[in-house]
Structure 1
Amino acid sequence: MEEAVLVGDVGGTNARFAAAYRRGDWIRIEQFERFAGEAFPDFNAALKTYLDMTGLRPAAACIAVAGPVRGGKAQLTNRDWSISEADVSERFGIANVLVVNDFVAMARSVPELEPEAFSVVLPGTPVPDAPILVAGPGTGFGVSTLIPSAGGWAVLAGEGGHMAYAPRTDLERELASLLARDHGYVSNELVASGSGLEEVHAAFCEIFGRPYAGMAPEDMRAKAYDGDEMYLALIRVRAMAVMGAVGDLALANGALGGVVLAGGVSERIAGFLKTPEARERFAARGPMSGFLAECPVRLLHAPAAPLIGAAAYFAQLRQG
């Protein structure tokens, strides 16, 4: 990857762009810029701003997007933007354009990152050459599975964040009932991600008999840390939703190579993901509880990870 590859990480909140270069064993990210999605009417306007700012004229691009990708086209799940490989290529004169799911890129970044990019959530011993689950909540709830292969790394993409939420306590069942009443289907994304926080907050206010008023996530966390019963319960429930979901996914995919938690929400509630209660929620699976007992869980701390992963994924495809 001697020449720059334009890489992008486009989510429900922000659009990030950079130029990626292979420097020895590592992919380097340069000319990084982040834009608020709400500042632009569509994806092409954001990309044009980036290219005009940097003067970059790439021959290749790999754009990771928070939504399903089919036939070279993607519709963001949590923003009314669509992206097309053919359209980007034609409008911006980029000969080789690839659009991938953002958690495909997130997963593919894991082998490219140094150990310092991770911290331990739950200790354990990974099984060599076993799949690695990469998942977690940000604006949405992304899921991909990294699979060792002869050609490098294969990535199994999916929409696992939209699996049904599985409550286990009386409080969680009451929450799920209220969410179902108001929204129909209740997914892990609705309970655990940023896009569902307002709905979960409103349901908790109803459960605890409090008037609902909009509140920033950081203010909710501050109240929890100050000992407010409702907000402490709210964050615990969201953390248990994360650990329950990734436990289900690791069980389904045989991801004994470990779990990597990603996404901004995972980082902000990290302390709640490391408790004995969280370990029990992750591993307790009835007769199969022993299956995940030694499966390690790590937290990814690398804002540029999807950009690095997009570059690595693109380079591997080109080499193949």
Structure 2
Amino acid sequence: MSARPHMDLEALPFPVLFADIGGTNARFAILTDAHAALRHFDTVETKNHVTLEDAVEAAVLRRTALRPRTMVFAVAGPIREERTQLTNCPWVVVPRALMETFDLDHVLLFNDFEALALSLPGLAAEDLEAVGDRLPPEDGTKVVIGPGTGLGAAGLVHAAHMWVPVPGEGGHIDLAPITARDLAVWPHVERPGERISGETLICGSGLLRLYRAVAAADGVAPACTTPAEVTAAAEAGDPVAVETVALFAIHLGRIAGNLALTFLARGGVYLAGGIAPRIAAVLKSGGFRAAFEDKNPHEDLLRSMATAIVVHERPALAGLVAFARTPTRFGVHLEGRHWVR
């Protein structure tokens, strides 16, 4: 068994088992052939299984007689050739061990936001909720960014009649204070390191970190202890929580605008992950778009770029499935991510 070098991949052997593994949850599905309906399995919490192999056995193989010949995974973290450690989860993905354990012919790994990017051309109008006056167009370079357990981002470029995903760690780019209110809140932000990155504030734990900083800036004792409590308090009208969620949307807009400029994302910017749909009303209230467009001297360019929330329940899996059905539609570099018996 070896990692396959870069080459064209015209088809995968079926059945194919798909997994979208995030910091908190893992989602699984099986496809019996390129034209079949997808069979989903229950979402599992990563903390309830010691290893990925344990989760696959418990969540999938005990619930079907099908035995996959191929596994295609989306993992939260940068892909390594032999052992991929997930960023916000203790699981380690070892493709050669997976092939031995489950008698596989192929294993492919994608970054989780790379898989999300693969889904974008196939999302229907009902899978999206516009933030602004329109949905993104079908064509053009696209960006996806998503706050959840962490902050992920990826691009999708249309070139040479193919969609080419561009994975990266854009969620870790620097975030800086801009307004007077930012400068009042910033000194109170708890910093995991020396700097404040996008993920410092724009993720689940970042929302709580931002809430505590806003409370400290106002000299108020924080009442919320979880991100869910912050969003619930905001919905109930608590002023500190209301401002926190509003600032969260603004900071997300700034980072999204930076990535839109970097990729020249005329095909739109998509907001994915678990948090965006929960704060859709705030994202659509104006602060997100204002921050997104505030990119002098390119305000007009940013105004021309559509933004939308992905409300599809399992978009990363949808991206993996789109690739498995028609690999030739996508320009995916296989070196270091594709293992063959």
Q: TM-score under structure 1 normalisation?
A: 0.91
Give the one of 18, 40, 45 matched to 1:36: 45
**Shift of residue 209 of structure 1?**
1.9
- Residue of structure 2 in register with 1:8 after alignment: 19
For 1:63, the aligned partner's letter is F
String of CA shifts for 1:8-60, please: whole Å, max 9, x gaps.
Answer: 01011111111135665xx7421422111111112221122122233331001
Match of 1:292 among 267, 280, 302: 302
The offset of 1:2, in angstroms, is 8.7
Q: Distance in 2 between matches of 1:203 and 1:242?
A: 17
Is the aligned partner of 1:142 residue 2:138? Answer: no
Higher relative contact order (CA 8 A, sep 6+): 2
- Corresponding residue to 1:228 among 209, 215, 238: 238
Q: 1:185 to 1:170 in 2, by over 3 A?
A: same
Give RMSD over aligned pairs: 2.3
1:80 aligns with 2:90: yes
C-alpha separation between the residues in 2 aligned to 1:21 and 1:151? Answer: 27
Q: Is the 8 A contact 1:2 1:21 kept in 2?
A: no
Structure 1 position 124, deviation (Å): 4.6
C-alpha separation between the residues in 1 aligned to 2:185 and 2:116? 30
Instruction: State the alpha-carbon separation in 2 of the partners of residues 242 and 262 from structure 1.
Output: 12
The alignment partner of 2:297 has SS state of helix
| 1:311 Cα deviation after fit | 2.0
Please give the per-residue CA displacement for 1:200-247, whole angstroms capped at 9, x wherever unaligned.
Answer: 333233222233455333332232223221111110111111111110
Q: How many matched pairs?
A: 318
Q: Letter of the aligned partner of 1:6 in structure 2?
A: L
Higher strand content, 1 or 2: 1
Gapped regions of structure 1 (runs ≥ 5)? none
Worse overlay, 276-285 or 126-135: 126-135
- CA change 1:149–1:44 in 2 (3 A) is same
Aligned partners of 2:85 and 2:93 also within 8 Å? yes
Residues in 2 aligned to 1:12 and 1:183: alpha-carbon distance in whole angstroms:
20
What's 2:81 paired with?
A: 71
**Paired position in structure 1 for 2:206:** 196
Q: Deviations over 1:141-188 (max 9, x none)?
A: 111111113353110000001111132222323333333666422111
Asked if the contact 1:136/1:242 (under 8 Å) is kept, the reply is: no
The 3 A distance-change label for structure 1 pair 126 and 213 is closer
Q: Within 1, Cα distance between the matches of 2:327 and 2:137?
A: 26
Report which stretch shifted further, 13-22 or 290-299: 13-22
Q: Which residue, out of 262, 277, 287, partners 1:252?
A: 262
**Counterpart secondary structure, 1:174:** helix
Q: Are positions 1:311 and 2:337 aligned together?
A: no
TM-score by length of 2: 0.85
Alpha-carbon distance change, 126 to 46 in structure 1, aligned in 2, over 3 angstroms: closer
**d(CA) in 1 for partners of 2:135, 2:127:** 18
The match for 2:275 is 265
Identity of aligned residues (%): 33
Secondary structure of 2:277 counterpart: helix
Tell me which of 167, 184, 188 is aligned to 1:178.
Answer: 188
The residue type equivalent to 2:319 in the other structure is: G
The answer to whether structure 1 residue 209 and structure 2 residue 227 are counterparts is no
Q: Which runs of structure 1 show a deviation greater than 6 angstroms over 4 or more consecutive aligned residues? A: none
Provide the residue aligned with 2:4 in structure 1: none
The answer on whether the counterparts of 2:52 and 2:92 sit within 8 Å (CA) in structure 1 is yes
Question: 1:145 & 1:218 partners in 2: Cα distance?
Answer: 29
Contact 2:20 2:316 in 1 (8 A): yes
Aligned partners of 1:244 and 1:47: how far apart in 2? Answer: 38
The residue that corresponds to 1:280 in the other structure is: 290
Provide the C-alpha distance between the structure 2 equivalents of 1:270 and 1:42, rounded to a whole number of angstroms.
Answer: 34
In the superposition, relative to structure 1, how do residues 234 and 75 fare at CA in structure 2: closer, same or farther (>3 Å)? same
Measure, in 1, the Cα distance between the counterparts of 2:81 and 2:161: 23
Structure with the bigger percentage of helix: 1
CA distance in 1, matches of 2:138, 2:241: 40
Describe the shift of the 1:151–1:62 C-alpha distance in structure 2 as closer, same or farther (beyond 3 A): farther
Is the contact made by 1:152 and 1:316 (CA closer than 8 Å) also made in structure 2?
no
Residue 73 (structure 2) pairs with residue 57 (structure 1): no
Structure 2 residue ranges without an equivalent (≥5): 1-11, 332-341
Mean alpha-carbon deviation: is it higher for 197-206 or for 186-195?
Answer: 197-206
Amino acid at match of 1:211: A
